[in-house]
Every structure is written in structure tokens, then in C-alpha cells.
Amino acid sequence: MPFVSALTVYPVKSLAGSPLDAMTVDPSGPRGDRRWMLVDAHGETITARKHPGMLGARATPVDGGVHLSAPGREPLVVTEPAGPADVPVRMSRLETATRAGDEADAWCSALVGRPARLLWLDDPARRGMAEKHGGTEADPMSLNDSGPLHVTTTASLARLDAWAAELHDERVERALTRGEPAPAAREALDMRRFRPNLVVDGDLEAFAEDGWSSLAVGDVELRFADLCGRCVMTTIDPDTQVKGREPLLTLARHRRWDGELWFGVQMVPVRTGRIGVGDPVEVR
């Protein structure tokens, strides 16, 4: 039977997440997931798309706040701010958020090498889910791009990695035929590139999740909302923060339609509660 092989929460948008043995799922998704984000002076979200080094910093949930850490930096614990949500932001379906304070702003500004503010979303109910992603305004959502809870499967990653290996071999053969330098040796694709909250393992067909209507796992029931379109962030190595061409190169060959490259699914909590690693997953 399929089972949960990994759980991860990402408290700060675009920072590395924290693996969990168990997580609590609220109506807006995993508790504490993507409740914080970095913005510039104009309220625009700062992400790893333009600042890959953000993926080298880690955000860990702590009681009443978040612990920030990065190589060569003193860690910082930021408590949930009590002030009003009065900082204007340029984000879909959200007009304002709450500033975390001068110390947090200084830490984040040093991380990205430009002025930045750390903001907190006080209430995900203020930002309903977009209809185009399978939600409604009644579905609360944190600072995610498209859905409350992101699910992937090891079977799909294995298939994608096999396709990537085939494509790499083709590129090597083509280079040798032309007398050109061969591409560097490839490394297996890491699931961390896709930043899922829940990874399902077990006897599954690759990309079976595309057809799931719902999942029952632990105390929780999830309904399918949308496939997950992938962006350039997946091309950043989670350890070195160096950009490459995969997995988008392979996704463009095998998983491209409607102008998007697809991997994984977004799901919406129908029944909340606890999920643990090892829990069986009932596919419906």
C-alpha cells in the first residue's frame, strides 16, 4: 500500500524547509508552512528565482515563531509579530502583511544582499485560493503560489530521473559525434528541488497522482486541486545553489502541455489533523 515517505514544512517562502516526522494539517495546509516571506521596498516578493542563495538558508518552526539559519551566519529566532498587518504587498489576493522587525529585516537583507523585509501572514483566511488552481475564496491559503499542500511521489521522480539520464546520454553522444566537449557527469534528481510537503512511496505507477481525486492519510483527507506547474527554481541545486538545466529540460520533452511543465499535484485539506511518516495512504 502507498505510504508517506517524507514530510517537510517550509516556514519562509523560498528558504530551505525542515523535514518532519509528523505534521499537523490545518485548513490552509501544513501548520506553519509558508507563513513568512521576504519583500523589497515596494512590497514585491523576493524569491530564490533571482536569489538562489536563499535556498541555502533554513527556516525551522519553533513555538510562536521561526528559527533562521545559514552557513556563516549567526542564527536568529523571530517571534510572530503582534503588530497590525499594515505593510502593503504585491501578491495575488493579499494586500497587506505584518513586518517582523528591524533585526529580522537586517538578517534577511544580509542574506540576499539587498534591502529586504521579513513579513508574516497573520491569517491565511485573508487570502483565499485562486479558482484557476482548483480552489475558492473560502479555501484559506498561506503564501504558496498555487495550492495549500504539495504532494509528489517517488515513482514519478524515478521515471523523470530515468528520462533525464536518457537525455543526458543523447547529449553526450551528440557532443562526441561533433568532436565537442561532452556535458559534465549528471547527478540523480533530488526531490528537494520540487519542495513538496508530502512524498508518497510504494507500488505506484509514475504520475498516477495526476488522476487522484482525493487521499486519506493519517487523520487527514485531501482533495485534488491542480497539477503543479514547475518553474526555474527547480533548476537550482539545493546544496550548491548553482543553476543548471534540469529538470526543466526533461520535463519540456515529456511533461509539457497548456504552456506549463508539470510535476506533482496541489491538494486542499478537507479533513484536518495529523500525518506521520510511514502512515498508509489511501488513494481515491
Q: Average of pLDDT values for 160-169?
A: 97
The DSSP bridge pattern shows strands 149-153 and 198-201 to be parallel
- Give the pLDDT of residue 123: 96
What pLDDT sits at residue 235? 98
Query: Tens digit of pLDDT for each residue in 45-55?
Result: 999 999 999 99
Q: Is residue 13 very low, low, confident or very high in pLDDT (cuts 50, 70, 90)?
A: very high
Give residues with Cβ within 8 angstroms of 257, minimum separation 6. none
Mean pLDDT of 152-156: 98
What's the confidence (pLDDT) of residue 24? Answer: 98
Distance separating alpha carbons of residues 114 and 135, to the nearest angstrom: 35
Residue type, 52: P
Domains and CATH numbers, the chain: 1-284 (2.40.33.20)
Residue 262 has a pLDDT of: 98
- Model pLDDT for residues 212-240, shown as the tens digit of each residue: 999 999 999 999 999 999 999 999 999 99
**Cell matching residue 247:** 529538470
pLDDT score for 189: 98
pLDDT band at 208 (very low <50, low <70, confident <90, very high): very high
Tell me the C-alpha to C-alpha distance, in Å, between residue 87 and each of 10, 32, 33, 115, 118.
22, 20, 20, 15, 11
* pLDDT band, very low/low/confident/very high, at 275 (cuts 50, 70, 90): very high
What percentage of residues in the chain have a pLDDT greater than 90?
A: 98
Q: Rounded mean pLDDT of the chain? A: 97
Residue 199: Cβ within 10 Å count: 21
The residue among 83 and 208 whose pLDDT is bigger is 208
